[in-house]
């Protein structure tokens, strides 16, 4: 389900213009966490950051930590980001790694939960995307006006037909993530 979301939504709609190349090169790891508690998930994320830290980008560019059994509440999920940020600071990985966030109930500040804008960050399960900042910097040298990516993504989602939205985001309707 996560790989389908990655290929059809993230890459297929070009929501992340930097994802297709590492996906084709098999440099994206999808780690399914079995965590059901904060400390277990934090340990999983730490281990994934360690692996990124010790593996060259040519072999492992980025990691998606999928959390199918925990943090179903978007508020709890969002609060957990503070723990990840503290972990990054504690290990002096600021400026080296950052985290992007995806959740089935993702809702941007000042949005209503049902707003289409939120679909850009809705995923089949809670996901923390661990990203090498160096990779982002390299990719941005070839991408004009990266600050417009969120606006382009929202426009892309809004231009989808109802049928396309239903097909691409059926995981939200069928509620696979429980």
C-beta contacts of 142-146 below 8 A and 24+ residues apart: 143/17, 143/18
Residue pLDDT, tens place only, 18-71: 899 999 999 999 999 999 999 999 999 999 999 999 999 999 999 999 999 999
Mean pLDDT on 88-112:
96
**Containing structural domain, residue 63:** 2-174
Average pLDDT of the chain, as a whole number: 93
The candidate with the shortest Cα–Cα distance to 100, out of 156, 57, 58, 149, is 149
Q: Can you give the pTM of this predicted structure?
A: 0.93
Mean pLDDT on 91-109:
96
| Predicted local confidence at residue 173, as pLDDT | 64
Q: Report how many domains make up the chain.
A: 1
How many Å apart are CA 148 and CA 171, to the nearest integer? Answer: 27
pLDDT tier for residue 177 given thresholds of 50, 70 and 90: very low
């Amino acid at each position: 389900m996560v790989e389908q979301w990655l290929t059809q939504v993230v890459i297929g709609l070009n929501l992340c213009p930097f994802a297709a190349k590492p996906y084709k090169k098999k440099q994206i790891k999808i780690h399914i966490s079995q965590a059901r508690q904060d400390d277990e998930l934090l340990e999983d994320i730490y281990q994934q950051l360690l692996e990124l830290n010790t593996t060259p980008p040519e072999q492992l560019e980025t990691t998606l930590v999928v959390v199918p059994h925990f943090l179903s509440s978007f508020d709890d999920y969002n609060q957990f980001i503070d723990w990840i940020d503290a972990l990054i600071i504690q290990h002096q990985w600021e400026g080296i790694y950052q985290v992007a966030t995806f959740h089935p109930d993702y809702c941007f500040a000042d949005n209503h939960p049902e707003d289409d804008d939120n679909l850009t960050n809705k995923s089949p399960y809670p996901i923390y995307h661990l990203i090498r900042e160096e990779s982002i910097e390299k990719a941005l040298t070839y991408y004009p006006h990266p600050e417009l990516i969120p606006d382009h993504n929202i426009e892309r989602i809004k231009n989808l037909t109802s049928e396309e939205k239903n097909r691409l985001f059926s995981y939200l309707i069928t509620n696979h993530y429980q």
